[in-house]
A and B are shown apart, each in its own frame.
Chain A
Amino acid sequence: MTELAVPAPTAASRGGVVLRRALRSRSALAGAVLLALLFLLAFAGPYLTRWGYDDKDFTAFRQPPSPAHWFGTGAAGQDVFAATVRGMQKSLVIGLLVAVVSTGLAGLVGAFAGYFLGAVDRVLMWVVDLLLVLPSFLMVAILSPLFQGSTWLLFVALLAAFMWMVTARIIRGMTMSLREREYVLAARYIGVRPARIIFRHILPNVASLLIVDATINVSVAVLSESALSYFGFGVQPPDVSLGTLLADASTDATTYPWLFCFPAALLVLIVLAVNLVGDGLRDALDPGSGQAT
C-alpha cells in the first residue's frame, strides 16, 4: 500500500481504495488491532516476566493466577504465562509460514495448469484430486515420526503441502480466462516466454484472491497445527505450542481451569482476529461490494 504516500492523483489507486474500504469495515479494523496486540503479547511477553517457558518454580505447583505467576503455574511449577506466550510465538510463526508457502504453491500450480492446459494441466489437476482424497490431518500424522527430534520446519512444509489444492483450482479457473485477454495475447505474440508471462501478467492479476486466501490460510494453519500438536503429531517437547499446552491441560480443565483457559482463549482470539481481517479484505477487494458497505 505504498501508493498512499504519493499525493492522490485524479483517480484513487487500487491499493488506496482497498485499504480505505477495509478500514471502513469496523470488524476488519478490530481484527487488525487485535492481531497486532496478540503479536505484541507473543513477542514482548517473554521480556515482561522473569520466568522462562521451561523454568520451574519449585515453591508453587498448580497455583492459581497470582502477582508472581500471572496465569498461574502448572503441575511441575511451570509459569503458565511464559509457556503461553512461547506457545503463541510458535503457533503464529507456523501459521504465517504455512499460509505463505501454501498460497504461493497454490498460485504457481494453478497459474501453470491454467496457462499451459493440455498435459500439464491434466497431470497437475490429477495431483490436486489425489491430495484432496488424502485428508491432511491423517497424512501429517503418519509422517510425524519423521520430524520428531528434527526441525519443526519440516512440520511447516508438510502442513503447507496439504493445504494448497482448493485455491489452486480456483486460480486455474481464473488463469484460463486471463490467458485469452489482449495483454496476455500481445505478450505471447511478441515472443515473451510463458514463465515470464505467468509471473508478470497472470499472477499479479490474481494477487487479490491470493492475499485473501493467504490470510484465511493463517487461521486454518493455526487450527491444524494446534489440533495435530494436541495429539502429539505436531510441535514436539520440550518446545511448546498452544496445542501441546491445551493437550497437557485438557484433563485438568475443571480442576485447574487456568491451565486450560488462558491458552484456549488466546488461541481462539488469534484465529478470530485473522478471520475478521480476512473477511474484511475479501469484502474490500470485491468490486461488487462497493455499494453494499
Chain B
Amino acid sequence: MDMSKDLVAASATPLVLAILAEGDSYGYAIIKRVAELSGGHLQWTDGMLYPVLHRLERQGLVAAKWSAAENGRRRKYYRISKEGRVQLAAQRQQWRTVDGALRGIWMQACTV
C-alpha cells in the first residue's frame, strides 16, 4: 500500500510519542516497532526518523541521553517528557475525532 507523504508525516509525531510512552527507546528500535505495529505498511525512510526526533527534542516533548552500549560505542536513547505526554493526549484526541468522522461516513456508505 502506498501511503501519502503528508499522512506519513502527520502521523510521525503521535506514533513516535506513543512508542516512547511504552518505554525509553532508540531510533532503530522505534523504526522496527512502527513496522511491527503497522504490519509493515508504514515504511519510513530510516534516516528521516532522526530529524523528527531532534525536532521533538527541541520542542521539549522528548529528552535524549547518550548511553554506552556493549562495545564501547554509544547509543542515543529518547524518553518522553511530561509535555510530551500532554501533547500525546491532545494528538490522540484529534486523531480519534478524525477517525470517528471517517468511520461514521464509511459505515453509512456500507449500509446504504
Query: Is this pair of chains taken from one and the same complex?
Result: no
